[in-house]
Amino acid sequence: MKLLLTNIKELLQVRDTAPSMLRGSEMKELPTLKDAWLLVEDDLIVDFGKMTDLNTTSVDKTIDCTGKIVLPSWCDSHTHLVYAGNREQEFVDRINGLSYQEIAEKGGGIVNSAKKLQESSEETLYQQSAKRLEEVMLLGTGAIEIKSGYGLTTEAEMKMLRVAKKLGENYPIQIKTTFLGAHAFPTDYKNNKEGYMDLLCNEMLPKIAKNKLADYVDIFCEEGYFSVADTHRLLSEAKQYNLIPKIHVNQFTALGGIAAGVEHNALSVDHLEVLTDDDIEALKGSNTMPVALPSCSYFLSIPYTPGRKIIDAGLPLALATDYNPGSTPSGNMNFVVATACIKMRLTPEEAINAATINGAYAMGLSDTHGSITKGKKANVIITKEIPSYGYLPYAFGSNLIDSVLLNGQEL
Ligand SMILES: N=CN[C@@H](CCC(=O)O)C(=O)O
Ligand SMILES: [Zn+2]
């Protein structure tokens, strides 16, 4: 099946050879082609160029993109999309004055979601999650990472990961899975934290690895959750199963977890709303991608990750949604890109790079996703008629997507 997109007003993120990631000032550059065409064969991008150079090829279908911009689909490298029910009541509790931490201390938060998930059948969990996945695909997400972490028992963690894997089999979107059993201490282990660490290391990790349920391992390194010592222990244990770390760190406090992540060659360190100069130094010279989650800051009214400072220090930055029931009940990458520009002072070029090429890196998908490059997956967003790509973050509340191609198929 050959599909030709013609008269594209501007084709974004055009790279003959795509870099695996973009750092610092490299993020300011967004290569584009104006008045362009793009040829897709089956699930791959096979060629592109300027309309003036188009030799008519015989194709099965042509899509006229007059006035429209085409860009690679968003790469959302941090989500908790598989969850049961919602936490709307906690949202109201926060409006009425309770903090996110106070709600967690009263038995709400992650353990509240774990209770709902443990009580849900695998089928119900799949149906609820599939609905969310379908929504974000139509919002332009073409590759996504999904974490466990609302199970907190071996069986429930495995149930979450099986659901995430099944979604990847049934939908034309690349899904990477992450084992986040170390998301919170379950109520039964409140006074036996070492016991839960033992369960994670001696039972959950080996079973999850044996069943090939996860690509990555994660831990919530935070005051009141898992310590830096716990982080070292889990990440060291995970190495024997080839589970690469992607960690939750520096959301509320800087404990030294970023340096720990870098020491264990984490693929990414995520959140970073609180970031010290030592943290920035620890990231320099590493291959670890800092990931900002601006929708979480928006929803919880906590500081935004200092993205400007990170990029100005010469570091890379990726943007992701953090889609989850507690801190970010939204999987909309368009909002993430806009909020990064509005609140973190990223330029549109930096934000688009962070949400495509750098997001792909943070999922180990640099070779196949994140740019318009021959041989990469034909995953693209076709916008409505808009004046320029800067209009995407500028008109932040509008749905500017006309249509989406995933693996070369129109959704
Ligand atoms: N901070 C840790 N985990 C999630 C939120 C978990 C929840 O509140 O359910 C996050 O990344 O924001
Ligand atoms: Zn998260």
Q: Which atom of ligand 1 is nearest to the CA of 300?
A: 12
Beta strands in 109-228, from DSSP E residues, in sequence order: 141-147, 174-182, 216-221
**ipTM of predicted assembly, 2 dp:** 0.99
Beta strands in 260-355, from DSSP E residues, in sequence order: 268-271, 289-292, 318-319
The CATH number given to 75-361 is 3.20.20.140
Q: Provide CB contacts within 8 A for 121, sequence distance 6+.
A: none
Distance (angstroms) between ligand 1 centre and the Cα of 338 equals 21
Annotate 91-140 with three-state secondary structure.
HHHHHCCCCHHHHHHCCCCHHHHHHHHHHCCHHHHHHHHHHHHHHHHHCC
Strand partners, 34: 10
Distance (angstroms) between ligand 1 centre and the Cα of 32 equals 36
Distance (angstroms) between ligand 2 centre and the Cα of 78 equals 6
Q: According to the model, what pLDDT value does residue 107 have? A: 87
Q: According to the model, what pLDDT value does residue 95 have? A: 96
Provide CATH 2.30.40.10 ranges for the chain. Answer: 2-72+371-410
- Could you tell me if the CB of 73 is within 6 A of ligand 1? no
Q: Which atom of ligand 1 is nearest to the CA of 150?
A: 9
Distance (angstroms) between ligand 1 centre and the Cα of 110 equals 7
Residue indicated by tokens 């990750």: 305
- Could you tell me if the CB of 273 is within 6 A of ligand 1? no
User: Running along the chain, 411 residues long, what does each successive block of 10 average in pLDDT?
Assistant: 97 97 98 98 98 91 98 99 97 95 91 97 98 98 98 98 98 98 96 98 98 98 97 98 98 98 98 98 98 98 98 99 98 98 98 99 98 98 98 97 98 95
326 is in an annotated binding site: yes
Q: According to the model, what pLDDT value does residue 274 have? A: 98
| Closest ligand to residue 117's CA | 1
- Could you tell me if the CB of 324 is within 6 A of ligand 1? yes
Distance (angstroms) between ligand 2 centre and the Cα of 80 equals 6
What fold does the segment set 2-72+371-410 form as a domain?
Answer: Urease, subunit C; domain 1 (2.30.40)
369 is in an annotated binding site: no
pTM of the prediction? 0.98
76, 77, 80: which to mutate for ligand 1, most atoms within 8 A of CB?
80
79, 185, 220, 298: which to mutate for ligand 1, most atoms within 8 A of CB?
220
Distance (angstroms) between ligand 2 centre and the Cα of 47 equals 36
- Could you tell me if the CB of 322 is within 6 A of ligand 1? yes
CA 249 to chain CA centroid, nearest Å = 15
For ligand 2, a single-atom ion, which residues have Cβ within 5 Å? 322
Provide CATH 3.20.20.140 ranges for the chain. Answer: 75-361
Q: According to the model, what pLDDT value does residue 338 have? A: 98
